[in-house]
Amino acid sequence: MRIATWNVNSVRTRLDQVVAWLRLAQPDVLCLQETKVADALFPHAAFEALGYRAAISGQKAYNGVAILSRQPLEDVRVGFAALLPHDGEAAALGEQRRLISALVEGVRVLNLYVPNGSALGSDKYAYKLAWLGCLRRYLAVQAAEADPLCMLGDFNIGPEDRDLHDPARLSGGIMASGPERQALRQVLGSQLLDAFRLFEPGPGHWSWWDYRSGAWETDRGWRIDHIYLSADLVACATGCVIDRAPRANPQPSDHTPVVVNLAWPPEVEEDAGEDASWL
């Protein structure tokens, strides 16, 4: 199973690019963030023509998440309230369309668009930390279901200095502050591991380049788009890559896709000493 994440910064503006990438990369699942479109206007037909069905949670001009899948999307859940129905903060935070999940071939795919936070000490920064706290409570409920979990999306956090192009200047600032990094560590606990870092421990790998100041041309990026796996999926992971190519497109998103390959579903081994033909 190949699962990908991509903040497309408007699915309708970038529709031709997303369609072209789907044809080339052939993921089984693609999670989109910042779709920036109301549900009634989501371009289902373009994806259905390629064999993908979509689960969506959008809003006009802002935020928005979607899961595209070649396989059936089961038990689709939108927002924090799906698992935290009695949590008042979850209901309030769910007004922004930033979270959707579904079961795909037995894997719980959880697609997130974590708030940016804007600036240290701002109301949006406090909102981001509250959102991450709510995500932690959400995952505690999710964990009780024991589904294999692939949590992915735009986290708007560089977890470590090796995830920033200039850590001496950027570490401690927005998207790399101590409280944000700590909140993310608390979300992950010991149960979820960074798929990319299973295969590539070194610095110099980015998934986002600011539109400003020639960041793409000078390769001054951040790694803020992540894929996290539960232990049962870590055991099946065969590779994880950042596909830089779409960032070089004309009028690109400022993010580029991240893709994990999983040997899933796992093969059932037959007992050589018994007749398993009835299975």
Instruction: Establish whether 154 is a catalytic residue.
Output: yes
Catalytic annotation, pick one of 52, 113, 125, 228: 113
Catalytic annotation, pick one of 52, 125, 138, 154: 154
DSSP one-letter string for the chain: -EEEEEE-S-TTTTHHHHHHHHHHH--SEEEEE---S-GGG--HHHHHTTT-EEEEE--SSS--EEEEESS--EEEEESGGGT-TT-HHHHHHTTS--EEEEEETTEEEEEEE-----STTSHHHHHHHHHHHHHHHHHHHHHHHT--EEEEEE-----SGGGBS-HHHHTTSTTS-HHHHHHHHHHHTTTEEEHHHHH--SS---SB--SGGGTTTTT--B--EEEEEEHHHHTTEEEEEE--GGGGSSS--SB--EEEEE--SPPPPP-TTS--TT-
Instruction: Establish whether 211 is a catalytic residue.
Output: no
List active site positions: 113, 154
